[in-house]
Amino acid sequence: MTTNGFHNHNSSPSFDDFLENDFSFSTTAIHFNQEPEQWLSNAVVPPICLASTYKQEAIADKRGFEYGKLGLYGRLGNPTRQCLEKVLAALEQAKYGFAFASGMAAVLSVVHILKAGDHVIVMDDIYSGTIVYFKKVASKFGLSIEFIDGTNLDNIQHAIKENTKMIWLETPSNPTLKLIDIKGVSKIAKNLPDCITVVDNTFLSPYFQRPLTLGADIVIHSCTKYLNGHSDVIMGAACTNNEKLAETLRFLQGSIGAIPSPFDCYLVLRSLKTLEVRMKKHMENGLKIAKFLETHPYVEKVLHPGLPSHPQHELAKKQCYGHSGMVSFYIKGHNLKTSKKFFKHLNIFALAFSLGGFESLAEFPSVMTHGSLSEEVRERLGITDGLIRLSCGLEDPSDLISDLDQALREAFKL
Ligand SMILES: *Cc1c(COP(=O)(O)O)cnc(C)c1O
Protein backbone atom coordinates (compact mmCIF):
# COMPACT_ATOMS: atom_id res chain seq x y z
CA MET A 1 0.00 0.00 0.00
CA THR A 2 1.22 3.51 -0.59
CA THR A 3 0.30 6.70 1.24
CA ASN A 4 -0.03 9.81 -0.89
CA GLY A 5 1.89 8.03 -3.62
CA PHE A 6 5.02 7.41 -1.56
CA HIS A 7 6.50 3.96 -1.31
CA ASN A 8 5.60 2.32 2.07
CA HIS A 9 8.62 1.54 4.30
CA ASN A 10 7.03 -1.51 5.92
CA SER A 11 6.51 -3.33 2.67
CA SER A 12 10.03 -2.76 1.36
CA PRO A 13 11.89 -6.11 1.38
CA SER A 14 15.15 -4.71 2.80
CA PHE A 15 13.36 -3.21 5.82
CA ASP A 16 12.19 -6.58 7.15
CA ASP A 17 15.78 -7.80 7.30
CA PHE A 18 16.78 -4.65 9.15
CA LEU A 19 14.08 -4.81 11.85
CA GLU A 20 14.70 -7.21 14.73
CA ASN A 21 11.06 -7.43 15.72
CA ASP A 22 7.64 -7.84 14.24
CA PHE A 23 6.52 -4.26 14.80
CA SER A 24 6.21 -1.72 12.05
CA PHE A 25 8.25 1.49 12.04
CA SER A 26 6.34 3.77 14.39
CA THR A 27 5.54 0.94 16.82
CA THR A 28 9.23 0.00 16.87
CA ALA A 29 10.17 3.58 17.66
CA ILE A 30 7.65 3.66 20.48
CA HIS A 31 8.00 0.21 22.03
CA PHE A 32 11.16 -1.65 20.96
CA ASN A 33 13.42 -2.34 23.98
CA GLN A 34 11.39 0.09 26.11
CA GLU A 35 9.26 -2.16 28.29
CA PRO A 36 8.13 -0.23 31.37
CA GLU A 37 9.30 -3.07 33.62
CA GLN A 38 12.92 -3.17 32.47
CA TRP A 39 14.46 -0.13 34.18
CA LEU A 40 16.31 -1.80 36.98
CA SER A 41 19.97 -0.98 36.88
CA ASN A 42 22.90 -0.56 39.20
CA ALA A 43 23.50 3.07 38.21
CA VAL A 44 25.22 4.87 41.13
CA VAL A 45 23.33 8.10 40.35
CA PRO A 46 19.53 7.95 40.51
CA PRO A 47 18.21 8.14 36.94
CA ILE A 48 16.13 11.07 35.71
CA CYS A 49 12.71 9.65 34.90
CA LEU A 50 10.73 11.94 32.60
CA ALA A 51 7.67 9.72 32.09
CA SER A 52 4.36 11.54 32.47
CA THR A 53 2.43 8.31 33.09
CA TYR A 54 2.93 4.68 34.20
CA LYS A 55 1.64 1.33 33.01
CA GLN A 56 -1.02 0.02 35.41
CA GLU A 57 -1.20 -3.65 36.42
CA ALA A 58 -4.98 -3.63 36.24
CA ILE A 59 -7.86 -1.18 36.25
CA ALA A 60 -8.38 0.54 39.61
CA ASP A 61 -4.71 -0.11 40.45
CA LYS A 62 -4.28 2.11 43.55
CA ARG A 63 -0.49 2.08 43.71
CA GLY A 64 -0.02 5.81 43.27
CA PHE A 65 -1.90 6.68 46.45
CA GLU A 66 0.40 4.85 48.79
CA TYR A 67 3.48 6.68 50.00
CA GLY A 68 6.62 4.94 48.85
CA LYS A 69 4.92 3.48 45.79
CA LEU A 70 4.62 4.97 42.37
CA GLY A 71 2.18 4.75 39.56
CA LEU A 72 -0.85 6.46 38.09
CA TYR A 73 0.39 9.74 36.65
CA GLY A 74 3.47 11.98 36.58
CA ARG A 75 1.95 14.88 38.49
CA LEU A 76 1.01 12.55 41.35
CA GLY A 77 4.32 10.74 41.55
CA ASN A 78 7.66 10.47 39.81
CA PRO A 79 10.60 8.19 40.70
CA THR A 80 13.24 10.94 40.57
CA ARG A 81 11.03 13.30 42.59
CA GLN A 82 10.22 10.63 45.13
CA CYS A 83 13.89 9.78 45.51
CA LEU A 84 14.56 13.45 46.35
CA GLU A 85 11.51 13.74 48.63
CA LYS A 86 12.69 10.82 50.73
CA VAL A 87 16.16 12.32 51.15
CA LEU A 88 14.73 15.76 52.03
CA ALA A 89 12.46 14.15 54.63
CA ALA A 90 15.31 12.12 56.11
CA LEU A 91 17.51 15.21 56.47
CA GLU A 92 14.71 17.05 58.31
CA GLN A 93 14.13 13.97 60.51
CA ALA A 94 10.68 13.71 58.94
CA LYS A 95 8.70 10.72 57.73
CA TYR A 96 7.17 12.51 54.75
CA GLY A 97 8.59 14.97 52.22
CA PHE A 98 7.03 16.80 49.28
CA ALA A 99 8.77 18.77 46.54
CA PHE A 100 7.18 21.75 44.81
CA ALA A 101 7.89 23.91 41.76
CA SER A 102 9.23 26.78 43.91
CA GLY A 103 9.46 27.91 47.52
CA MET A 104 6.32 29.99 46.93
CA ALA A 105 4.53 26.91 45.54
CA ALA A 106 5.39 25.13 48.81
CA VAL A 107 4.06 28.13 50.79
CA LEU A 108 0.77 28.24 48.88
CA SER A 109 0.28 24.46 48.96
CA VAL A 110 0.78 24.43 52.75
CA VAL A 111 -1.55 27.41 53.28
CA HIS A 112 -4.22 25.49 51.31
CA ILE A 113 -4.51 23.18 54.33
CA LEU A 114 -6.59 26.03 55.81
CA LYS A 115 -10.12 27.06 54.94
CA ALA A 116 -11.98 30.36 54.70
CA GLY A 117 -12.59 31.86 58.13
CA ASP A 118 -9.35 30.55 59.66
CA HIS A 119 -6.97 32.92 61.40
CA VAL A 120 -3.23 32.78 60.71
CA ILE A 121 -0.50 34.39 62.80
CA VAL A 122 2.52 35.30 60.69
CA MET A 123 5.83 36.74 61.87
CA ASP A 124 6.33 40.30 60.62
CA ASP A 125 9.96 39.89 59.57
CA ILE A 126 9.86 37.14 56.93
CA TYR A 127 10.62 36.63 53.25
CA SER A 128 8.89 39.49 51.44
CA GLY A 129 7.38 37.16 48.81
CA THR A 130 5.60 35.27 51.58
CA ILE A 131 4.31 38.57 53.04
CA VAL A 132 2.99 39.61 49.62
CA TYR A 133 1.38 36.18 49.15
CA PHE A 134 -0.41 36.36 52.52
CA LYS A 135 -1.48 40.00 52.06
CA LYS A 136 -2.52 40.00 48.41
CA VAL A 137 -3.46 36.41 47.61
CA ALA A 138 -4.36 34.36 50.70
CA SER A 139 -6.39 37.24 52.15
CA LYS A 140 -8.68 37.16 49.08
CA PHE A 141 -9.82 33.66 50.02
CA GLY A 142 -11.25 34.48 53.41
CA LEU A 143 -8.25 33.85 55.64
CA SER A 144 -7.67 36.44 58.31
CA ILE A 145 -3.96 37.13 58.59
CA GLU A 146 -2.18 38.90 61.39
CA PHE A 147 1.48 39.96 61.32
CA ILE A 148 3.25 40.20 64.66
CA ASP A 149 6.74 40.39 66.19
CA GLY A 150 7.24 36.83 67.40
CA THR A 151 10.55 37.34 69.20
CA ASN A 152 8.42 37.78 72.31
CA LEU A 153 6.21 34.73 72.94
CA ASP A 154 3.68 36.90 74.80
CA ASN A 155 2.91 38.67 71.52
CA ILE A 156 1.96 35.33 69.99
CA GLN A 157 -0.07 34.27 73.01
CA HIS A 158 -1.99 37.59 72.85
CA ALA A 159 -2.68 37.23 69.13
CA ILE A 160 -4.34 33.81 69.52
CA LYS A 161 -8.02 33.70 68.62
CA GLU A 162 -10.64 30.99 68.73
CA ASN A 163 -10.11 30.34 65.02
CA THR A 164 -6.29 30.46 64.95
CA LYS A 165 -5.28 27.42 62.89
CA MET A 166 -1.73 28.21 61.82
CA ILE A 167 1.33 30.00 63.19
CA TRP A 168 3.88 30.80 60.48
CA LEU A 169 7.50 31.30 61.47
CA GLU A 170 10.71 32.06 59.71
CA THR A 171 13.75 31.87 61.92
CA PRO A 172 16.30 33.38 61.62
CA SER A 173 14.25 36.13 60.06
CA ASN A 174 14.93 38.02 56.88
CA PRO A 175 16.85 40.37 56.70
CA THR A 176 17.50 41.25 60.38
CA LEU A 177 18.26 37.65 61.52
CA LYS A 178 15.97 37.75 64.57
CA LEU A 179 15.25 34.37 66.17
CA ILE A 180 11.90 32.91 67.14
CA ASP A 181 11.72 30.25 69.86
CA ILE A 182 10.39 27.29 67.82
CA LYS A 183 9.85 25.10 70.89
CA GLY A 184 7.95 27.88 72.68
CA VAL A 185 5.70 28.66 69.73
CA SER A 186 4.98 24.96 69.04
CA LYS A 187 3.92 24.55 72.67
CA ILE A 188 1.43 27.42 72.35
CA ALA A 189 0.01 25.90 69.14
CA LYS A 190 -0.27 22.41 70.65
CA ASN A 191 -2.56 23.75 73.38
CA LEU A 192 -5.05 24.92 70.75
CA PRO A 193 -7.46 22.71 68.83
CA ASP A 194 -6.08 21.88 65.35
CA CYS A 195 -3.54 24.69 65.24
CA ILE A 196 -0.28 23.90 63.46
CA THR A 197 3.15 25.50 63.52
CA VAL A 198 4.92 25.94 60.18
CA VAL A 199 8.59 26.91 60.03
CA ASP A 200 10.36 28.21 56.93
CA ASN A 201 13.85 26.74 57.41
CA THR A 202 15.38 28.16 54.22
CA PHE A 203 18.01 30.32 55.93
CA LEU A 204 19.67 27.48 57.87
CA SER A 205 18.90 24.21 56.04
CA PRO A 206 18.38 21.02 58.07
CA TYR A 207 22.12 20.88 58.63
CA PHE A 208 21.85 23.74 61.13
CA GLN A 209 18.22 23.57 62.33
CA ARG A 210 15.53 20.88 62.47
CA PRO A 211 12.22 22.50 63.45
CA LEU A 212 10.26 19.21 63.57
CA THR A 213 12.48 17.97 66.41
CA LEU A 214 11.55 21.16 68.31
CA GLY A 215 7.81 20.53 67.99
CA ALA A 216 6.89 22.21 64.68
CA ASP A 217 4.31 20.39 62.55
CA ILE A 218 5.56 21.32 59.07
CA VAL A 219 8.92 22.59 57.87
CA ILE A 220 9.17 24.26 54.48
CA HIS A 221 12.07 25.28 52.25
CA SER A 222 12.94 27.27 49.26
CA CYS A 223 15.32 24.62 47.84
CA THR A 224 16.42 27.38 45.46
CA LYS A 225 18.73 28.59 48.23
CA TYR A 226 21.07 26.42 50.35
CA LEU A 227 19.58 23.00 49.54
CA ASN A 228 20.41 23.32 45.87
CA GLY A 229 23.17 25.83 46.51
CA HIS A 230 24.32 26.15 42.89
CA SER A 231 22.01 28.97 41.77
CA ASP A 232 20.53 26.96 38.92
CA VAL A 233 17.19 25.61 40.22
CA ILE A 234 13.93 27.11 41.54
CA MET A 235 12.25 24.61 43.88
CA GLY A 236 10.41 24.26 47.19
CA ALA A 237 9.72 21.53 49.73
CA ALA A 238 7.57 20.69 52.75
CA CYS A 239 8.22 17.93 55.32
CA THR A 240 6.19 16.59 58.23
CA ASN A 241 5.95 13.69 60.68
CA ASN A 242 2.19 13.96 60.99
CA GLU A 243 0.50 11.30 58.88
CA LYS A 244 -2.76 13.23 58.52
CA LEU A 245 -0.97 16.39 57.42
CA ALA A 246 1.13 14.30 55.02
CA GLU A 247 -2.02 12.88 53.46
CA THR A 248 -3.42 16.38 53.01
CA LEU A 249 -0.14 17.67 51.57
CA ARG A 250 0.07 14.75 49.15
CA PHE A 251 -3.46 15.47 48.01
CA LEU A 252 -2.74 19.22 47.65
CA GLN A 253 0.54 18.57 45.81
CA GLY A 254 -1.31 16.49 43.21
CA SER A 255 -4.45 18.59 43.15
CA ILE A 256 -2.81 22.03 42.89
CA GLY A 257 -0.07 20.53 40.73
CA ALA A 258 2.77 22.92 41.53
CA ILE A 259 5.40 20.19 41.16
CA PRO A 260 9.06 20.41 40.10
CA SER A 261 10.50 18.87 36.93
CA PRO A 262 12.34 15.54 37.22
CA PHE A 263 15.49 17.21 35.91
CA ASP A 264 15.41 19.80 38.71
CA CYS A 265 14.80 17.00 41.22
CA TYR A 266 17.94 15.30 39.96
CA LEU A 267 19.93 18.55 40.35
CA VAL A 268 18.81 19.10 43.96
CA LEU A 269 19.42 15.44 44.80
CA ARG A 270 22.95 15.88 43.51
CA SER A 271 23.40 19.12 45.49
CA LEU A 272 22.30 17.54 48.77
CA LYS A 273 25.32 15.26 48.60
CA THR A 274 27.54 18.26 49.35
CA LEU A 275 25.14 20.08 51.71
CA GLU A 276 27.19 19.36 54.81
CA VAL A 277 30.54 20.47 53.39
CA ARG A 278 28.93 23.56 51.86
CA MET A 279 27.11 24.56 55.07
CA LYS A 280 30.28 24.16 57.16
CA LYS A 281 32.17 26.44 54.78
CA HIS A 282 29.29 28.97 54.57
CA MET A 283 29.33 29.15 58.38
CA GLU A 284 33.10 29.51 58.58
CA ASN A 285 33.15 32.28 55.96
CA GLY A 286 30.09 34.06 57.41
CA LEU A 287 31.52 34.10 60.93
CA LYS A 288 34.93 35.35 59.76
CA ILE A 289 33.24 38.13 57.81
CA ALA A 290 30.89 39.03 60.69
CA LYS A 291 33.82 39.25 63.13
CA PHE A 292 35.79 41.37 60.68
CA LEU A 293 32.84 43.75 60.12
CA GLU A 294 32.32 44.09 63.88
CA THR A 295 35.74 45.71 64.16
CA HIS A 296 35.37 47.90 61.06
CA PRO A 297 35.41 51.69 61.61
CA TYR A 298 32.63 52.28 59.04
CA VAL A 299 30.28 49.61 60.37
CA GLU A 300 27.78 50.51 63.06
CA LYS A 301 26.45 47.06 63.92
CA VAL A 302 26.60 43.44 62.71
CA LEU A 303 23.69 40.98 62.89
CA HIS A 304 24.80 37.34 63.19
CA PRO A 305 23.26 34.84 65.65
CA GLY A 306 26.68 33.22 66.14
CA LEU A 307 28.15 36.40 67.65
CA PRO A 308 27.84 36.96 71.42
CA SER A 309 26.65 40.50 70.55
CA HIS A 310 23.44 39.07 69.01
CA PRO A 311 20.59 39.64 71.49
CA GLN A 312 19.41 36.03 71.05
CA HIS A 313 22.80 34.35 70.94
CA GLU A 314 21.80 31.99 73.80
CA LEU A 315 18.61 30.90 71.98
CA ALA A 316 20.66 30.36 68.81
CA LYS A 317 23.01 28.03 70.67
CA LYS A 318 20.06 26.08 72.08
CA GLN A 319 17.92 25.92 68.94
CA CYS A 320 20.46 25.67 66.08
CA TYR A 321 23.50 23.54 65.35
CA GLY A 322 25.21 26.49 63.69
CA HIS A 323 24.54 29.36 61.30
CA SER A 324 24.69 29.70 57.51
CA GLY A 325 26.45 32.34 55.42
CA MET A 326 23.77 34.98 56.06
CA VAL A 327 25.17 38.15 57.64
CA SER A 328 23.50 41.55 57.84
CA PHE A 329 25.12 44.80 58.93
CA TYR A 330 24.50 48.54 59.18
CA ILE A 331 26.85 50.96 57.49
CA LYS A 332 27.47 54.02 59.68
CA GLY A 333 25.16 56.93 58.90
CA HIS A 334 22.31 54.86 57.35
CA ASN A 335 22.74 56.93 54.24
CA LEU A 336 21.40 55.89 50.81
CA LYS A 337 24.26 57.58 48.94
CA THR A 338 26.92 55.81 51.00
CA SER A 339 25.21 52.44 50.53
CA LYS A 340 24.97 52.98 46.77
CA LYS A 341 28.70 53.75 46.62
CA PHE A 342 29.44 50.63 48.67
CA PHE A 343 27.57 48.40 46.21
CA LYS A 344 29.18 50.11 43.23
CA HIS A 345 32.65 49.23 44.47
CA LEU A 346 32.07 45.58 45.36
CA ASN A 347 34.07 43.32 43.05
CA ILE A 348 33.51 39.76 44.27
CA PHE A 349 30.11 40.10 46.00
CA ALA A 350 27.48 40.43 43.26
CA LEU A 351 24.54 42.77 43.77
CA ALA A 352 21.62 40.34 43.44
CA PHE A 353 18.44 38.91 44.92
CA SER A 354 18.57 35.39 46.38
CA LEU A 355 21.01 33.67 48.72
CA GLY A 356 22.54 30.34 49.63
CA GLY A 357 24.57 29.73 46.47
CA PHE A 358 28.28 28.98 46.14
CA GLU A 359 28.83 32.59 45.03
CA SER A 360 28.79 35.56 47.41
CA LEU A 361 25.90 37.99 47.00
CA ALA A 362 25.08 41.35 48.54
CA GLU A 363 21.61 42.77 48.68
CA PHE A 364 20.00 46.07 49.74
CA PRO A 365 16.75 45.18 51.58
CA SER A 366 15.27 48.70 51.91
CA VAL A 367 15.08 49.06 48.12
CA MET A 368 15.28 45.49 46.79
CA THR A 369 13.72 42.58 48.72
CA HIS A 370 11.75 44.71 51.19
CA GLY A 371 11.10 47.75 49.01
CA SER A 372 7.41 46.84 48.75
CA LEU A 373 6.89 47.35 52.50
CA SER A 374 5.74 50.75 53.74
CA GLU A 375 8.37 53.11 55.14
CA GLU A 376 6.80 52.83 58.57
CA VAL A 377 6.98 49.01 58.57
CA ARG A 378 10.56 49.09 57.30
CA GLU A 379 11.53 51.47 60.09
CA ARG A 380 9.88 49.28 62.72
CA LEU A 381 11.74 46.23 61.39
CA GLY A 382 15.06 48.05 61.32
CA ILE A 383 15.37 48.00 57.54
CA THR A 384 17.17 51.31 57.08
CA ASP A 385 19.13 52.68 54.13
CA GLY A 386 22.30 51.50 55.86
CA LEU A 387 21.28 47.85 56.14
CA ILE A 388 23.22 45.44 53.91
CA ARG A 389 22.42 41.72 53.67
CA LEU A 390 25.22 39.39 52.65
CA SER A 391 25.02 35.79 51.51
CA CYS A 392 28.60 34.68 52.07
CA GLY A 393 29.58 32.10 49.47
CA LEU A 394 32.32 29.50 49.27
CA GLU A 395 35.18 31.69 48.02
CA ASP A 396 38.36 32.23 50.04
CA PRO A 397 37.30 34.31 53.08
CA SER A 398 40.34 36.60 52.92
CA ASP A 399 39.36 37.66 49.39
CA LEU A 400 35.78 38.33 50.56
CA ILE A 401 37.01 40.39 53.53
CA SER A 402 39.33 42.48 51.33
CA ASP A 403 36.46 43.10 48.93
CA LEU A 404 34.16 44.36 51.71
CA ASP A 405 36.94 46.44 53.27
CA GLN A 406 37.85 48.29 50.08
CA ALA A 407 34.17 48.87 49.15
CA LEU A 408 33.48 50.34 52.62
CA ARG A 409 36.51 52.64 52.32
CA GLU A 410 35.45 53.76 48.83
CA ALA A 411 31.93 54.42 50.11
CA PHE A 412 33.25 56.93 52.65
CA LYS A 413 35.73 58.67 50.30
CA LEU A 414 34.70 62.27 49.65
C1 LIG B 1 13.45 32.53 48.46
C2 LIG B 1 12.63 32.25 49.63
C3 LIG B 1 11.30 31.81 49.50
C4 LIG B 1 10.64 31.64 48.15
O5 LIG B 1 11.27 30.63 47.42
P6 LIG B 1 11.29 30.57 45.80
O7 LIG B 1 12.03 29.32 45.55
O8 LIG B 1 11.99 31.81 45.33
O9 LIG B 1 9.87 30.53 45.35
C10 LIG B 1 10.60 31.55 50.66
N11 LIG B 1 11.15 31.71 51.87
C12 LIG B 1 12.42 32.15 52.03
C13 LIG B 1 12.98 32.33 53.39
C14 LIG B 1 13.20 32.44 50.91
O15 LIG B 1 14.45 32.89 51.07
Of 225, 259, 369, 370, the one to substitute when testing ligand 1's pocket (max ligand atoms within 8 A of C-beta) is: 225
The domain total for the chain is 2
- In ligand 1, the atom with minimum distance to the C-alpha of 234 is 7
Close Cβ partners of 249 (under 8 Å, ≥ 6 residues apart)? 96, 98, 109, 110, 113, 218, 238, 240
Are 61 and 39 contained in the same domain?
yes
- The parent domain of residue 131 ranges over 25-272
Q: Look at residues 240, 272, 304 and tell me which one is the last residue of a structural domain.
A: 272
What pLDDT, in 10s, does the model give residues 58-69? 776 665 434 445
Centre of ligand 1 from the C-alpha of residue 342, in Å:
26
Are 97 and 152 contained in the same domain?
yes
Has residue 90 been placed in a domain?
yes
Centre of ligand 1 from the C-alpha of residue 220, in Å:
10
What pLDDT, in 10s, does the model give residues 223-268? 999 999 999 999 999 999 999 999 999 999 999 999 999 999 999 9
Has residue 202 been placed in a domain?
yes
Are 161 and 298 contained in the same domain?
no
- In ligand 1, the atom with minimum distance to the C-alpha of 355 is 15
- Alpha-carbon distance values, 237 to 27, 88, 107, 265, 304 (Å): 39, 8, 9, 11, 26
Of 110, 224, 235, 368, the one to substitute when testing ligand 1's pocket (max ligand atoms within 8 A of C-beta) is: 224
Q: How far apart are CA 202 and CA 132, in angstroms?
A: 17
Provide the pairing of β-strand 119-123 with 144-148.
parallel
Q: Look at residues 272, 296, 330 and tell me which one is the last residue of a structural domain.
A: 272
- In ligand 1, the atom with minimum distance to the C-alpha of 235 is 7
Has residue 196 been placed in a domain?
yes
What pLDDT, in 10s, does the model give residues 173-213? 999 999 999 999 999 999 999 999 999 999 999 999 999 99
Are 156 and 115 contained in the same domain?
yes
Question: Tell me, what amino acid is at 166?
Answer: M
Name the residue at shortest CA distance from atom 4 of ligand 1: 103
Has residue 16 been placed in a domain?
no
Are 252 and 357 contained in the same domain?
no
- Alpha-carbon distance values, 116 to 119, 138, 262 (Å): 9, 9, 33
The continuous run of DSSP H or E covering 14 comes out as helix 13-18
Are 85 and 171 contained in the same domain?
yes
CB 160 within 8 A of CB 188: yes
Over residues 19-48, mean pLDDT = 78
Has residue 8 been placed in a domain?
no
What pLDDT, in 10s, does the model give residues 349-384? 999 999 999 999 999 999 998 888 889 989 999 999
- The whole model's pTM is what? 0.92
Of 104, 227, 261, the one to substitute when testing ligand 1's pocket (max ligand atoms within 8 A of C-beta) is: 104
Output helix, strand, coil percentages for the chain, rounded to the nearest 5.
Answer: 40, 15, 45
Are 72 and 187 contained in the same domain?
yes
Name the residue at shortest CA distance from atom 7 of ligand 1: 103
CA torsion sign, 401 to 405 to 406 to 411? positive
- In ligand 1, the atom with minimum distance to the C-alpha of 105 is 9
Are 241 and 369 contained in the same domain?
no
Centre of ligand 1 from the C-alpha of residue 82, in Å:
21
Of 202, 234, 326, the one to substitute when testing ligand 1's pocket (max ligand atoms within 8 A of C-beta) is: 202
Centre of ligand 1 from the C-alpha of residue 26, in Å:
45
Decide which of 270 and 43 is more confident. Answer: 270
* Distance of alpha carbon 27 from the chain centroid: 43
| The pLDDT value given to residue 199 | 98
| The pLDDT value given to residue 8 | 59
Are 202 and 294 contained in the same domain?
no
Q: How far apart are CA 154 and CA 132, in angstroms?
A: 25
Whole-number average pLDDT of the chain: 91
Neighbours of 106 (CB within 10 A): 28
Has residue 19 been placed in a domain?
no
Are 50 and 174 contained in the same domain?
yes
Has residue 383 been placed in a domain?
yes
Centre of ligand 1 from the C-alpha of residue 163, in Å:
27
Give 99's strand partners.
237
Cis peptide before 172 (omega within 30 of 0): yes
Domain holding 187: CATH number? 3.40.640.10
What residue ranges line ligand 1, CB within 6 angstroms? 102-104, 127, 129-130, 170, 174, 200, 202-203, 222, 224-225, 234, 236
Q: How far apart are CA 263 and CA 399, in angstroms?
A: 34
Domain holding 370: CATH number? 3.90.1150.10
Over residues 73-84, mean pLDDT = 91
Are 353 and 244 contained in the same domain?
no
| The pLDDT value given to residue 44 | 87
Are 285 and 389 contained in the same domain?
yes
Q: Catalytic positions, please?
A: 75, 127, 200, 225
Decide which of 216 and 18 is more confident. Answer: 216
Asked if pLDDT for residue 23 goes beyond 90, the answer is no
Has residue 20 been placed in a domain?
no
Centre of ligand 1 from the C-alpha of residue 69, in Å:
29
Centre of ligand 1 from the C-alpha of residue 170, in Å:
11
Q: Look at residues 272, 298, 315 and tell me which one is the last residue of a structural domain.
A: 272
